């Protein structure tokens, strides 16, 4: 397809893997409505973002539109990018080191984490990610085949799945993580927050410009979401059908590996760890690229606001882009120190925290896609699109409030 390949590799990371497995293992199918809701939110939200990128009559980026709403808005997202680049990296770097160390059976996690983030940074600087993409697809394929195969072997319960999707039940807290924390983390991981802003930049790098690419873009995005649905459902089913009946709960990466070890033997753990490694490392590269493009765009908007000439140098060749990449890869290495939270805990808490910014993001998107002065008369939201985006906005308010309550309770 196109940008959907890169964005899927970025989205399909530790957040989906951990949250779906923990939710299925601890709560069965009862919270599956949160995943369905989050996937719906992601498709509609990112589709609206892409519509603005391709169809606005100014030919401007989404961040340029934010600048026109208020000059402080891009600065706000720049600060969020700075913080979330570090905290997303925290669990990704930790997952990379722990997963590869356990896959090969030797070496401390911090050493492997340092090695792989250094290599990933070099690949990102050289902009040759496409040349190693197939290697990552191989590892992701191993993980996908494992979970889909085991999910089919374990025999998912269609009635239980339907009840989990449509009944919106809230079970009692089980295991190390409360139900509200899991739900908000699912919305953050599967539904996405600031990382949804990456897709327009990948569209731009693909050189898709103008409304003529809108239909192709929708197919591209639908492909990505279908991949997410299949893999998230498979991972959830494995947790619900294999782990939950044993009464076990998930609190660390070894508990997750135990799912495959119990069904495939000792090689199941190796396959799992390689899959986690590939998923986390590809997400790390995608995040570094996305945040680099975003911060570069924000810097250009600030220059325009001051009346300075915009640089003609491609963003990926600027010093600022490289500084963002370095920050995203190397600052999180501090979380490899002894006594810091584990991979699973970091993943759940960081993704739940990311939901807090959703009201600002969804409200801003609603505004620029509803006004003729921004998107133009031909593509501004219709009545049903207003209804959908309004629902997303109020959902984001609820999710943000619940995330804050859950995180305060955890502290």
Q: Answer yes or no: is pLDDT of 302 > 70.
A: yes
Residue 402 sits at φ, ψ, to 5 deg, of -65, -35
Residue count (the chain): 411
**Dihedral over alpha carbons 240, 243, 249, 252 (to 10 degrees):** -110
State the chain's maximal CA–CA distance in angstroms: 64
Q: Does the structure show a pLDDT above 90 at 114?
A: yes
pLDDT band for position 133 (cuts 50, 70, 90): low
301 pLDDT above the threshold of 60 = yes
pLDDT at residue 350, as a whole number? 78
Mean pLDDT of 201-220: 87
Q: What is the pLDDT of residue 256?
A: 66
Q: How much is the pLDDT for 132?
A: 53
> Is residue 263 pLDDT above 70, yes or no?
no
Q: Which of 262-266, 323-327, 376-380 has the lowest mean pLDDT?
A: 262-266
Confidence of residue 15 (pLDDT cuts 50, 70, 90): low
Q: Which two tokens stand for residue 384?
A: 């049903």
Q: Which residue has the higher pLDDT, 180 or 214?
A: 214
Contact by Cβ (8 Å): 369, 389:
yes
CATH classification of the domain holding 140: 1.20.1740.10
Identify the residue with better confidence: 169 or 230.
230
pLDDT band at 392 (very low <50, low <70, confident <90, very high): confident
Residue 191 · residue 35 · CB < 8 Å: no
* Backbone torsion region of residue 382, taken as left when φ is above 0, otherwise alpha when ψ lies between -120 and 50, otherwise beta: beta
Half-sphere exposure of 111 (CA within 13 A, CB side): 6
What's the average model confidence in pLDDT over 330-353? 81
Counting the structural domains of the chain, the total is 1
319 contacts 296 by C-beta, under 8 angstroms? no
Task: State which residues form the domain around 363.
Answer: 3-410
Residue 331 pLDDT class (50, 70, 90 cuts):
very high
Residues 6 or more apart from 300 whose CB is under 8 A from it? 310, 311
């Amino acid at each position: 397809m196109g940008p959907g390949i890169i964005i899927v590799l970025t989205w399909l990371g530790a957040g989906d893997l951990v949250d779906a497995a923990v939710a299925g293992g601890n709560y069965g199918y009862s919270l599956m409505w949160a995943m369905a809701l989050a996937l719906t939110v992601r498709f509609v939200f990112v589709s609206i973002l892409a519509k603005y990128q391709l169809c606005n009559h100014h030919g401007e980026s989404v961040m340029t539109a934010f600048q026109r709403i208020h000059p402080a808005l891009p600065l706000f997202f720049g600060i969020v990018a700075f913080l979330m680049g570090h905290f997303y990296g925290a669990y990704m770097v930790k997952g990379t080191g722990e997963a590869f160390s356990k896959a090969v059976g030797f070496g401390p996690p911090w050493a492997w984490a340092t090695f792989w983030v250094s290599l990933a940074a070099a690949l990102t600087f050289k902009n040759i990610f496409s040349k190693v993409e197939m290697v990552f697809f191989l590892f992701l394929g191993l993980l996908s085949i494992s979970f889909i195969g085991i999910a089919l072997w374990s025999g998912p319960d269609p009635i239980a799945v339907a009840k989990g999707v449509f009944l919106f039940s809230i079970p009692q807290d089980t295991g190390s993580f409360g139900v509200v924390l899991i739900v908000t983390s699912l919305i953050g991981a599967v539904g996405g927050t600031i990382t949804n802003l990456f897709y327009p930049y990948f569209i731009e790098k693909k050189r898709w410009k103008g409304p003529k690419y809108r239909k192709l873009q929708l197919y591209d995005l639908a492909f990505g979401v279908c991949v997410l649905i299949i893999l998230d459902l498979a991972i959830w089913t494995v947790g619900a059908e294999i782990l939950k009946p044993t009464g076990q709960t998930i609190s660390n990466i070894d508990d997750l590996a135990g799912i495959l070890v119990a069904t495939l033997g000792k090689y199941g753990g190796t396959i799992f760890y390689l899959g986690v490694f590939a998923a986390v490392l590809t997400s790390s590269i995608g995040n570094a690229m996305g945040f680099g493009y975003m911060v570069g765009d924000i810097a250009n908007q600030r220059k325009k606001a001051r009346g300075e000439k915009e640089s003609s140098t491609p963003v990926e060749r600027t010093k600022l882009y490289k500084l963002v990449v370095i920050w995203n890869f190397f600052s999180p290495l501090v979380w490899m120190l002894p006594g810091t939270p584990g991979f699973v805990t970091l993943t759940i808490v960081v993704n739940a925290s990311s939901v807090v910014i959703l009201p600002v993001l969804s409200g801003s998107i609603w505004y620029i896609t509803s006004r003729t002065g921004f998107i133009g008369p031909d593509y501004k939201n219709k009545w049903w699109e207003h209804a959908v985006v309004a629902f997303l906005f109020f959902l984001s308010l609820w999710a943000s409030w619940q995330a804050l309550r859950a995180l305060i309770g955890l502290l």
